[in-house]
Amino acid sequence: MTKTVIEHLILLFLIYIPFQVYSDTLHISSEQSGAFEKAEYIIEKTIIVPEDEKLKFLPGSKLFFFPSAGIKVYGSLICEGTKEKPIIFTLFTRQKNSRIESYLQWQGIIVSKNGKISFKHCSINNSLYGVKVPDTSSILLFDKISFYQNDNQLVIGEVPVFSDDSADFSFPIPDKSTPLTSGKDKERKSPLFPILHSSFAAIAIGGAVAYGYFRSQANDYHDRYSKAKDANSIADYKSKRDEYARYSNAGLACMLISTPALGFTVTINIVSKRKNR
């Protein structure tokens, strides 16, 4: 009887061995660098990427974070997945349908002043800060990123770039070696000439209006001055005539100065456009 039981146990053991499945779930935390293979990772404590070090996760990796954990990047974090094998950052939950667990969030990916990130085909979910960088120079690549149920999605400095969930977000980083724009776009990016045109035009128009108005007032008081009979009226009309005449002359001077200046800036702008074509 005992021999039969042992034989059955050995048979079951031999049958079980070929079908045994080993878990690909790994636990990582604290300072990390190097390239991590495709696997499922549980992060109980915050991962720190040291300065001058690189941490890379390969396509298809899944990172599950405890609520108090996240990633702090002082060096470089490279997470470049593919459309078929995205890299997923999300909250670790033992009971995925638990109402209590659904209110929890992990801390997010926080990049320091000298840190750099390169993200492509990544999904970032259920975090306090999806990705937070000090400025755009920290982003080497940010393409095809999915955000879902984060308090903040992408934060640059202290400013959230957008707030809603996004299934396919890319942040454009212009090539600094080439001009941003040319032609009409370049003209729009440089507000100097439009400001000068508007200013000189406003001064010219304002000067013309002031000249016409104050000139008519000065003429009116001159007529009154000519017809006045008593000393007080003569002195009063003369004083007001001279005052309005000064205002009229000032308006005329503004018009005479700003009109040629407007013409000059328009000419310079036209010449500049032709050179840039």
**In the chain, domain spans:** 23-169, 183-276
Kindly give the pairing relationship between strand 139-148 and strand 116-125. parallel
> How much is the pLDDT for 187?
40
* 59: phi then psi, degrees, rounded to nearest 5: -55, 140
* Residue ranges of E strands in the chain: 25-27, 30-31, 34-36, 40-43, 47-49, 54-57, 62-65, 71-73, 76-80, 87-91, 106-111, 116-125, 127-133, 139-148, 152-156, 159-162, 166-169
> How much is the pLDDT for 127?
96
pLDDT digits (tens, 9 = 90+) for 116-149: 999 999 999 999 999 999 999 999 999 999 999 9
What average pLDDT does range 182-199 have in this prediction?
Answer: 55
| Angle ∠(269,253,223) on CA atoms, nearest 5 | 145
Which of 21-30, 61-70, 183-192, 232-241 comes out lowest in average pLDDT? Answer: 183-192
9 band by pLDDT with thresholds 50, 70 and 90: very low
Does residue 157 have a pLDDT over 70? Answer: yes
> How much is the pLDDT for 131?
97
What average pLDDT does range 170-174 have in this prediction?
Answer: 69
CB 217 within 8 A of CB 246: no
> How much is the pLDDT for 102?
54
> How much is the pLDDT for 74?
97
> How much is the pLDDT for 210?
84
pTM of the predicted structure, to 2 decimals: 0.55
Among the listed residues 109, 100, 42, 34, the one whose alpha carbon sits nearest the alpha carbon of residue 70: 109
Round to whole Å and give the CA distance between 264 and 31.
63
> How much is the pLDDT for 128?
94
| CB hemisphere CA count around 89 (13 angstroms) | 33
Does residue 164 have a pLDDT over 90? Answer: no
CB 109 within 8 A of CB 87: no
Highest mean pLDDT among 35-39, 69-73, 104-108: 69-73
The 8-class DSSP code of residue 17 comes to: G
Please, what is the average pLDDT of the chain? Answer: 80
